[in-house]
Homo-oligomer: A and B are copies of this chain.
């Protein structure tokens, strides 16, 4: 449930020096309820109604804060602007290249990739990211 995760995130912030503000709550709420990966500007535009005076800088600042605390991840897909996603550690994403649908995909054991990378490169590995791309069943049938 998205709301539980949101509550968890809010609690995680309570344990830090990070204050809860209406703007921050709204940004988190939007992130946790959106199944997509919004850009900073999309978040900004989505909250324009609720916060007509909110600055873009506030969105960027808070996304950075959330990143530092570890509850939000920044994804760079290759277009000009970054996208942001709540941190979910227990699954990967399968993404439809036709309609953009994102499906969760549980797959165990890629920790060994991190371990190997650590040995081979000498890096201190913190995380990894994987996405699988393809065509979802719906879009597949539409093609025929």
Contacts A76-B76, A117-B94 given; does A123 touch B135 at CB 8 Å:
yes
When each residue 100-144 of chain A gets 1 if its CB lies under 8 Å from chain B and 0 otherwise, what string results? Answer: 000101110000011011101111111111111111110010000
The answer to whether A94 and B121 have CB atoms under 8 Å apart is yes
| CB-contact partner of A117 in B114, B116, B123, B132, under 8 A | B132
The answer to whether B130 and A134 have CB atoms under 8 Å apart is no
Which residues of B are found within 8 Å of A134, using beta-carbon distances?
Answer: 117-118, 123-127
The answer to whether A133 and B127 have CB atoms under 8 Å apart is yes
Which residues of B are found within 8 Å of A78, using beta-carbon distances?
Answer: 74, 76
When each residue 8-52 of chain A gets 1 if its CB lies under 8 Å from chain B and 0 otherwise, what string results? Answer: 000000000000000000000000000000000000000000000
Q: Does A58 touch B at the CB level, under 8 Å?
A: no
Chain A interface residue bracket vs B: 35 or more
Q: Does A97 touch B at the CB level, under 8 Å?
A: yes
The answer to whether B118 and A107 have CB atoms under 8 Å apart is no
The answer to whether A96 and B123 have CB atoms under 8 Å apart is yes
Which residues of B are found within 8 Å of A121, using beta-carbon distances?
Answer: 94, 103, 105, 136
When each residue 60-97 of chain A gets 1 if its CB lies under 8 Å from chain B and 0 otherwise, what string results? Answer: 00000000000000101110000000000000001011
Contacts from A to B (Cβ < 8 Å):
74, 76-78, 94, 96-97, 103, 105-107, 113-114, 116-118, 120-137, 140
4 tightest CB-CB pairs across the interface, nearest first?
A125-B134, A123-B134, A130-B130, A76-B78
